[in-house]
Amino acid sequence: MAPILLRSVLVLVLIFLYLPLGVMAVMAFNQSPLYAMPMVFDTIWFERLAGNERLVGAGLNSLAIALANTAIATALGTMAALAFQRYRFRGATLLQILLLPPITIPWLIIGTAMLVLFFWTGIGRGLHAILLGHVALSLPYVIVVVGARLRSFGVTLEEAAATLGAGPWTTFRRVTLPVIAPGVVAAALFAFAVSFDQFVISYFLAPPGVSTLPVEIYSAIRKGFTPEINAISTVIILVSMGLMLAVARFYRFGGER
């Protein structure tokens, strides 16, 4: 009795989670801009999308920032994770607590605070400022994900490499890095997703005329939406979900690799 009830909750939850996404995706193929029924299948909105320079430009900005963010956050985060997992030093606990604010303070506060400081100091707004913000948000995730992988392997393999005559750098290159590679890849995909989906920070740091995809979509929604937004949103959802499926693969099955 109880199991059946619980299982139906689970089914309803899945319907609840995917229903609006499904509706949105289907409506992207509706010829009528007013979402009129019965539906007439058409790919016109995807074609319009390809010709929409603002959206395409914003999409390219999003992509460029996400890629740069991935490279920077993965490198800096992996270095920090190594420090936490392989060295004992004063202040380590405090430094780890300092990773909490970027994850837990509402983005609205962080975003407006960055706006204030960047505007004030002359760093200004723009893609560079957005990148600065995205890396800050991605770093804690990279440190946690790579750190978990480093910890699960312990130091025995590195010790073994040392007894075999490998110096610290050789050990890192030939043992540590290959072994934690799945964790690093997962962290990189995470960082990409964090940046590609990030709206709030980008919104406050984007000057007029420059925007990322989510910022462009937000202003389009506020102006009154069009099915083009459905089309681009459908693309975004598919990209992010595909990305997270890749993360799941690396993160879960990485252990036995």
158 binds other proteins (CB under 8 A): yes
226 binds other proteins (CB under 8 A): no
41 binds other proteins (CB under 8 A): no
Instruction: Pick one of 42, 57, 67, 102: the residue that binds other proteins (CB under 8 A).
Output: 102
Footprint on residues 179-198 left by other proteins (CB under 8 A): 179, 181, 193, 196-197
Instruction: Compare residues 50 and 225 and give the one whose CB is closer to other proteins.
Output: 225
- Least CB distance from residue 23 to other proteins, whole Å? 5
Instruction: Pick one of 57, 112, 128, 210: the residue that binds other proteins (CB under 8 A).
Output: 112
Kindly give, in sequence order, each residue whose CB lies less than 8 Å from that of residue 90, ignoring residues fewer than 6 positions away.
none
Footprint on residues 11-30 left by other proteins (CB under 8 A): 13-14, 16-21, 23-24, 27
Write the Ramachandran bin of 91: left for phi over 0, alpha for psi from -120 to 50, otherwise beta: left
148, exposed or middle or buried, with CB in 10 Å at 0-12, 13-18, 19+?
A: middle
Footprint on residues 124-153 left by other proteins (CB under 8 A): 132-133, 135-136, 139, 143-144, 147-148, 151
Instruction: Pick one of 15, 60, 64, 98: the residue that binds other proteins (CB under 8 A).
Output: 98
- Least CB distance from residue 50 to other proteins, whole Å? 19
89 binds other proteins (CB under 8 A): yes
Instruction: Compare residues 23 and 64 and give the one whose CB is closer to other proteins.
Output: 23
223 binds other proteins (CB under 8 A): no
Q: Count the Cβ atoms, other than its own, within 10 Å of residue 157.
A: 14
253 binds other proteins (CB under 8 A): no
Footprint on residues 48-67 left by other proteins (CB under 8 A): none
Strand partners, 41: 30
Q: What is the DSSP letter of 30?
A: B
Total residues in contact with other proteins, by rule CB under 8 A: 117
Residue for token pair 């995470």? 190
DSSP letters along 124-189, please?
-SSHHHHHHHHHHHHHHHHHHHHHHHHHHH-SHHHHHHHHTT--HHHHIIIIIHHHHHHHHHHHHH
70 binds other proteins (CB under 8 A): no
Footprint on residues 200-219 left by other proteins (CB under 8 A): 200, 203-204, 214, 217-218
Four-CA torsion 37, 41, 45, 48, nearest 10 degrees:
-130
Q: Count the Cβ atoms, other than its own, within 10 Å of residue 225.
A: 13
Structure tokens at 28: 């992207």
165 binds other proteins (CB under 8 A): yes
Residue type, 38: P
